[in-house]
């Protein structure tokens, strides 16, 4: 079945380039140049992936992203952002974007990122790694992780995590107290073929920390400057590792 892609981009030259190259790869491509119209199509129709520009007439890319995620729409989204606009990248990832491409970009990079995001979204090989041996519960202090349910509880309260946040926490929890490099996390959670920067890991860890603040005395994530991260459990709270 042909996969449908929605491109929301108001620059005619770029939108034509995207449409042509993605169509050549066998995708069914829909292009919208106005943010509001693009949002309406994204919320009413089914797509396998959305390429979303940040600067758009009507609704901008962040508004579209926020509204789609608030409506429970989980379609993979790649944001298109200006070169050196790190704040846009960070904001987009925090709001639920799956990846980003900085302009200008080459066709090969575009196709590689689209392929990698869609493969991850479909649960192909790199997703299988993180799901091995997930039938048991991990208990660390007041933190409980239920791998088969993608569920996390802290002090008995459920914590709402995005899929990649959950997988980062799960990998850290499998090796509590052990320093894991950003490359470790990138390879296990996003896959060896992911070509995004390590900033992606930092953004997800930052988001995790805020959600773990519900009981920071029980468990928290430490940064090891220039290396990576480790999950720290307070022994006074008690812990056991059951996986």
Q: Where are the domains of the chain?
A: 4-122, 132-237
* pLDDT at residue 131, rounded to an integer: 43
* pLDDT at residue 197, rounded to an integer: 65
Helices (H), 7-54: 12-24, 35-44
What's the rounded Cα separation, in Å, for the pair 68 and 74?
8
26 is written with which tokens?
């066998």
* pLDDT at residue 195, rounded to an integer: 59
Asked if 35 and 57 count as a contact pair (C-beta separation under 8 A), the reply is yes
What's the rounded Cα separation, in Å, for the pair 123 and 115?
12
Decide: pTM greater than 0.85: no
* pLDDT at residue 9, rounded to an integer: 96
The third-level CATH classification (topology) of the domain covering 132-237 is: Arc Repressor Mutant, subunit A (1.10.10)
What's the rounded Cα separation, in Å, for the pair 148 and 108?
36
* pLDDT at residue 119, rounded to an integer: 80
17 is written with which tokens?
């380039």
Helices (H), 95-177: 107-121, 125-131, 163-174
Point out the residues of the chain with pLDDT beneath 70: 83-84, 123-135, 192-197, 235-243
Helix axes 199-212, 163-174, angle to 10 degrees: 80
* pLDDT at residue 68, rounded to an integer: 96
179 is written with which tokens?
């320093």
Burial of 22 (0-12, 13-18, 19+ CB in 10 A): buried
pLDDT digits (tens, 9 = 90+) for 65-106: 999 999 999 999 999 987 667 788 888 888 889 888 888 888
Helices (H), 136-240: 163-174, 182-185, 199-212
Under CATH, to which class is 4-122 assigned? Answer: alpha beta
34 is written with which tokens?
């106005």
Q: What is the dihedral of CA 120, 194, 198, 214, to 10 degrees?
A: 10
């Amino acid at each position: 079945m042909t996969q449908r892609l929605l491109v929301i981009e108001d620059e005619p030259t770029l939108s034509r380039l995207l449409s042509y190259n993605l169509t050549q790869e066998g995708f069914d491509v829909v292009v919208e140049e106005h943010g509001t119209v693009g949002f309406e199509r994204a919320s009413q129709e089914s797509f396998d992936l959305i390429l979303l520009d940040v600067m758009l007439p009507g609704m901008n890319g962040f508004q579209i992203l926020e509204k789609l995620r608030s409506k429970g729409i989980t379609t993979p989204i790649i944001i298109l952002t200006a070169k050196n606009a790190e704040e846009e990248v960070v904001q987009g990832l925090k709001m639920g974007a799956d990846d980003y491409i900085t302009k200008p970009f080459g066709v090969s990079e575009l196709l590689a990122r689209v392929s990698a995001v869609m493969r991850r979204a479909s649960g192909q090989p790199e997703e299988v790694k993180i799901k091995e041996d997930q039938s048991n519960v991990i208990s660390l202090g007041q933190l409980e992780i239920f791998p088969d349910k993608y569920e996390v509880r802290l002090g008995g309260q459920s914590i709402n995590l995005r899929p990649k946040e959950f997988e980062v926490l799960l990998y850290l929890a499998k090796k509590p107290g052990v320093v894991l490099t950003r490359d470790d996390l990138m390879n296990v959670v996003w896959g060896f073929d992911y070509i995004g920067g390590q900033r992606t890991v930092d953004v997800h860890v930052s988001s995790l920390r805020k959600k773990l603040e519900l009981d920071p005395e029980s468990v928290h994530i430490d940064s090891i400057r220039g290396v990576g991260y480790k999950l720290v459990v307070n022994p006074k709270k008690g812990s056991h590792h059951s996986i």
